[in-house]
Structure 1
Amino acid sequence: MRTRTLTATALLALALTACGSPDDTVNTTPKSAAPKAKEAPSTTASSAPPAEKKAATVGDTLTLKGMEDGEQLDVTLKQWLPTAKGADEFNAPSEGKKWVAAQFELVNTGTKAYADSPQNGAQVADAQGQRFQSYFGEIAAGPQMASDLNLPKGEKALGWILFEVPKNSQIVSAQFAMNSGFSDQTGQWTVK
């Protein structure tokens, strides 16, 4: 009987670890479309269908939590460039590639300072599902995001994050995650 109990316990533990972290999420719901506090049930039946969840796009803000207690950012994809130009003749994509860029605004809404290299937590995906990490280069659109960010609570940081992708790639989404991409929450925006 003891062997069965130990076997059942071992199988349960194995099943729980195989499922991955239950906290891993991809947030695509903009802050303005986030569910409101639970309201008292309505006494009248509604004939309207439930509202569809709006996917985040350029201009939308997503609230993301970091790995440590007190780490939280409101992240806005301010602008999207499907073709980014180098700041000068020395900054250009490799042959057969193009640059795309996302301008992010990070507002520290947590209770502690946020220190990170934001480019490490950003990536884009094309229509085929290929994903691309950030790339360092200067673009004509404006300054890049600080690579060694130390953001006090209540303050914001604004900057461009650059990506080098194949010329024929059609980028369809941009993602951002805190803690150099290691946090459990990832924000995702649809781009064109």
Structure 2
Amino acid sequence: MPRSRRAGRLRGSLLALAFLAPALSGAATGGSGETISLTGNDPGERLDVTLTRVVDPADPAGQDPTGSDRFVATRFRLENTGTAVYEDSPAPAAHLLDTNGRRFTGDDAPTTAGPALPETVTLDPGGTAEGFVTFRLPRDADPAAVQFALDAGRADDVGHWSLPLT
């Protein structure tokens, strides 16, 4: 099974393995501030994605932080390095994996960590955007990795960062 040797990139059926067993994907990880170039499903779609910060726990803005869940906020920097306009929803494109193999999809819930990425981001070639994607997970969950893919998370090219950021 062919696979890219570039750190931080998973392809094809390796993606399924990463969701089922995050520990197996250790060789395909990025570190703090590492930029991973990702392609989408359409011609000219290319985005450089950088996971710049993780806030755990992140207090929900305007809400009582008590309860059985907690928020984890991840800050991404997106740069359109392709030839096509990037228009996508970053929150469903991001996933957090915990040490038990559970997968949590991002949302754009506001937290005190900082401004969220908009529900829809539109970037001309060369354009950039930066902001947080939030994950709601059980208080006892231990985050292990964050993943990001274009096309609302459905592209084959997936960026993968191990946590905690080092």
2:149 aligns to what? 177
What secondary structure does 2:92 align onto?
A: helix
Q: Could you tell me which amino acid in structure 1 is paired with residue 83 of structure 2?
A: T
Distance in 2 between the 1:183 and 1:97 partners? 29
Unaligned runs of 5+ in 2: 10-26
2:137 aligns to what? 165
1:56 aligns to what? 30
Q: Conserved in 2, the CA contact under 8 Å of 1:82 and 1:171?
A: no
2:71 to 99, 117, 123: 99
Change in 2 beyond 3 A, CA 1:100/1:108: same
Alignment of 1:1-192 (within 5 A): 29=7, 55-88=29-62, 90=63, 92=65, 95-192=67-164
Q: Conserved in 1, the CA contact under 8 Å of 2:95 and 2:146?
A: yes
RMSD: 2.3
- Deviation (angstroms), 1:92: 3.8
1:125-182 CA distance string (max 9 Å, x none): 0001011111332111211011111111001010100000010100010000000011
Q: Conserved in 1, the CA contact under 8 Å of 2:28 and 2:160?
A: no
What secondary structure does 2:133 align onto?
A: strand
Instruction: Report percent identity of matched pairs.
Output: 31
Distance in 1 between the 2:30 and 2:134 partners? 20
Q: Conserved in 2, the CA contact under 8 Å of 1:27 and 1:188?
A: no
Report the number of matched residues.
147
Distance in 2 between the 1:27 and 1:149 partners? 29
Distance in 2 between the 1:160 and 1:154 partners? 20
Higher-RCO chain (CA-CA 8 Å, sequence separation at least 6): 2
Unaligned runs of 5+ in 1: 1-21, 32-52
Q: Could you tell me which amino acid in structure 2 is paired with residue 131 of structure 1?
A: R
Distance in 2 between the 1:85 and 1:112 partners? 36
What secondary structure does 1:110 align onto?
A: coil
Change in 2 beyond 3 A, CA 1:164/1:61: same
Change in 2 beyond 3 A, CA 1:172/1:26: farther
State TM-score, norm by structure 1. 0.70
Q: Could you tell me which amino acid in structure 1 is paired with residue 31 of structure 2?
A: T
Q: Could you tell me which amino acid in structure 1 is paired with residue 7 of structure 2?
A: T
Q: Could you tell me which amino acid in structure 2 is paired with residue 84 of structure 1?
A: A
State TM-score, norm by structure 2. 0.81
Distance in 2 between the 1:141 and 1:97 partners? 17
Distance in 1 between the 2:111 and 2:130 partners? 15
Q: Conserved in 2, the CA contact under 8 Å of 1:58 and 1:78?
A: yes
